[in-house]
């Protein structure tokens, strides 16, 4: 719904009389550096086959070759296909930094006609939805306000704290923090789903074509054997601020040493869950079965 809204935004009429700026080498004007492209032309480019175009500010960009390099996945960036980027960057303001602008720049193919530029006052306001006050502790060092990211203080990463206090555990969000209420336990459901490419694994597909996986309530999971494990969890960008001393162009949140924690976790082993769902130990030994990947979908969702 949101993507359709942004893709079909009306032409924004500006009262600009001209855009004759000398921003190019040797006094080139914007007309001479890039072709002028109208909004309706951009809207024709919404698929890979037609090339994916978007606009940002007064620029038009062909981002087709960047789709699978997008850190948030190509499905997300395709929401802006044939439309404008600004509403999505208002939704996720961490895009509005020099490193991201530098990534976009090489894909510029044209200049947006001044009559089609967006009036900033027409952009959606997500500020109320971006307020996240659910910090675990006031001692956490905030690295990004939205989505909320904060790192553990150094004193909790010493021998005195072999187990990181749960209130001091670092926060790494890519979206809004999920909300829970008193009905959470009653409404919770874990759904298992298996998708197999019948062309890539035809024999395996036939074996499990009619296989029905179970769903689990929280009470169902509590009936299975629970195990406790100690594990370290770390963000891949931990100590990025140190890396930037030698490689200043490294992109991402400027973590120090606190995007890591060590803790105990209790729950059902995935192996036990799959056995209970109907798989067998023989399945686990099947080379074709071992080619499958597990993708876990959390409770954090888009707006």
Which residue, 52, 114, 113, is CA-closest to 85? 52
Cα–Cα distance for residue pair 12/92, rounded to 1 Å: 23
Cα–Cα distance for residue pair 175/92, rounded to 1 Å: 8
CA 76 to chain centre: 7
Q: Which two tokens stand for residue 293?
A: 């990947």
Please say whether the beta carbons of 81 and 128 come within 8 A. Answer: no
pTM, 2 dp = 0.68
Per-residue pLDDT of the chain (303 residues; tens, 9 = 90+): 344 333 333 333 222 223 333 344 444 454 558 999 999 999 999 999 999 999 999 999 999 999 998 988 888 899 999 999 999 998 888 888 888 998 999 999 999 999 999 888 888 887 777 776 666 788 999 998 888 899 999 999 999 999 999 999 999 988 777 777 778 888 889 988 877 777 767 777 777 777 777 899 999 999 999 999 999 999 999 999 999 999 987 888 999 999 999 999 999 999 999 999 888 898 889 887 887 888 888 777 665
Per-residue three-class SS string for 118-147: CCHHHCCCCCCCCCCCCCCCCCCEEEECCC
Using a 10 angstrom Cβ sphere, with 0-12 exposed, 13-18 middle and 19 or more buried, the burial of residue 74 is middle
Please say whether the beta carbons of 301 and 259 come within 8 A. Answer: no
Give the contacts of 19 (CB within 8 A, at least 6 positions apart).
30, 58, 111, 114
DSSP label of 84? B
């Amino acid at each position: 719904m949101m993507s359709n809204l942004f893709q079909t935004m009306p032409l924004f009429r500006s009262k600009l009389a001209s855009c004759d700026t000398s921003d190019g080498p040797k006094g080139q004007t914007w007309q001479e550096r890039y072709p002028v492209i109208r909004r309706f032309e951009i809207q024709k480019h919404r698929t890979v086959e037609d090339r994916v175009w978007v606009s940002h500010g007064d620029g038009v960009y062909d981002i087709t070759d960047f789709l699978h390099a997008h850190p948030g996945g190509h499905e997300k960036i395709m929401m802006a296909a044939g439309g404008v980027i600004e509403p999505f960057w208002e939704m996720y303001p961490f895009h509005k930094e020099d490193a991201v602008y530098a990534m976009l720049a090489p894909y510029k193919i044209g200049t947006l006609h001044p009559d089609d530029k967006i009036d900033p006052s027409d952009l959606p306001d997500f500020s109320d939805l971006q307020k996240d006050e659910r910090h675990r502790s006031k001692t956490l060092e905030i690295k990004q306000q939205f989505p909320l990211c904060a790192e553990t203080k150094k004193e909790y990463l010493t021998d005195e704290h072999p187990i990181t206090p749960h209130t001091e555990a670092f926060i790494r969000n890519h979206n809004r923090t999920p909300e829970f209420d008193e009905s959470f336990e009653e409404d919770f459901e874990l759904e298992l789903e298996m998708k197999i490419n019948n062309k890539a694994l035809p024999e395996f597909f036939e074996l499990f074509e009619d296989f029905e996986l179970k769903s689990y309530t929280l009470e169902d999971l509590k009936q299975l054997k629970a195990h406790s494990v100690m594990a370290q969890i770390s963000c891949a960008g931990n100590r990025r601020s140190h890396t930037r001393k030698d490689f200043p162009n490294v992109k991402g949140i400027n973590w120090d040493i606190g995007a890591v924690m060590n803790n105990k976790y209790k729950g059902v082993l995935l192996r036990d869950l799959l056995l209970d769902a109907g798989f067998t130990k023989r399945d686990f030994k099947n080379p074709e079965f071992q080619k499958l990947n597990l993708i876990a979908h959390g409770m954090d969702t888009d707006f």
